Structure 1
């Protein structure tokens, strides 16, 4: 599987990592416990089986023109299904347009994950992967009521086969 992800600016990354730390310190599930070097706050725009030839270059051109994109985090919720604890991302028109453009670039790719499709996509930053709804109130108190702002400053692709990342933008 290959993903297309937006990477947080330094201030947004710090805010999310601080929330991960507070959750872990409170004894709650948290992505702070994932020590793999590719683990970092990100927003997944799409996931497919493999990239068709030329897609990485087309995505890089798209991101170099579109980023940075301002972002504001909203409330903390548990998503249905796999039960991740997430911080919802305010879906601005710029973010929705970028998301749709990524899907246009990936039009010929096989194995699109439908939960990332325009119309179904819930933009979010993950805080914990397996979370119980019963702990949501405590998690909200631990994370706090702030609404961090920042931007998505770069993009990458994660390869689930070898757990590696490929930058899709120049370093900013």
Structure 2
């Protein structure tokens, strides 16, 4: 599988990495401890069997990071789903419809992951630790694709 991911500007990336560090320093699950060299803050727009047909992405895209919350078993920071961001995701999805892309536009929940597979106890501690963060503003300035079979990234 292949992803289409947007990468935040330096300031937003540093802010997410700071949250990763806060979690790790508190002994909580955090992507700060993920050892793979491709690990970095990103917004996954879509996952698909192939990226054939993908058009160039119109970057930069304004970004606003919101509250921290649980999404499934992950601790995430919400990304405000602006009309521009939704239109970009929909355009990517439409261009890749032959490659079985996911998620479809109505199911797109933009977020940046902070920790994966978080337990209930750690979840409550992490939410308390990161409660009340002010919104963070910046841009998504680059894009990449992660190939889950090869475990490599390619710039888009």
What TM-score does the superposition give when structure 1 sets the normalisation length?
0.84
Matched, 1:134 2:124: no
RMSD: 1.4
Counterpart mapping for 1:48-59 below 5 A: 48-52=48-52, 55=53, 58-59=54-55
What is the aligned partner in structure 2 of residue 74 from structure 1? 66
Q: Is the 8 A contact 2:30 2:114 kept in 1?
A: yes
Q: Give the superposition deviation at 1:138.
A: 2.4
Q: Is the 8 A contact 1:77 1:136 kept in 2?
A: no
What is the aligned partner in structure 1 of residue 138 from structure 2? 150
What is the aligned partner in structure 1 of residue 35 from structure 2? 35
What TM-score does the superposition give when structure 2 sets the normalisation length?
0.92
| Runs of 5+ unmatched residues, structure 2 | none
**Whole-Å separation in 1 of the counterparts to 2:114 and 2:42:** 10
What is the aligned partner in structure 1 of residue 16 from structure 2? 16
What are the Cα deviations for residues 60-100 of structure 1, in whole angstroms up to 9, with x where unaligned?
A: x2x1xx211111111111112xx011001100111011111
**Counterpart pick for 1:163 among 147, 151, 156:** 151
- Higher strand share goes to which structure? 2
Counterpart mapping for 1:83-122 below 5 A: 83-110=73-100, 112-113=101-102, 116-122=103-109
Q: Is the 8 A contact 2:9 2:141 kept in 1?
A: yes
**Whole-Å separation in 2 of the counterparts to 1:137 and 1:72:** 24
